[in-house]
Amino acid sequence: MHTDKFKYKELILELKAGRCLEPVHEAQLLNYLKATTIEVGLLMNFGNEPTFKRFVYNKQQQQSV
């Protein structure tokens, strides 16, 4: 099984190698954060123009809504 998701203590690192980051990539990382106890994720793209985005999903805030 191939995975590009890594967990190190309290961080999920999602690696991509495309032209650019797409909304579907962001949604994928947010789903990982929602499905786990981890609240911080990095989405990194090593394509034509390397970019990264940091996501924070606060589970306590979401439960109170």
Q: Is pLDDT at 7 greater than 80 in this prediction?
A: no
Strand order in the sheet with 40-45: 5-7, 12-16, 40-45, 51-56
At 16-65, the pLDDT tens digits run 999 999 999 999 999 989 988 889 999 999 998 899 999 999 877 665 44
Q: pLDDT at position 38, please?
A: 87
- The strand pair at 12-16 and 40-45 is best described as parallel
Q: How confident is the model at residue 8 (pLDDT cuts 50, 70, 90)?
A: low
Q: How many CB atoms lie within 10 A of CB 65?
A: 4
Domain residue ranges in the chain: 5-63
Which residues have a Cβ under 8 Å from the Cβ of 13 and sit 6 or more positions away?
Answer: 5, 6, 7, 41, 42, 44
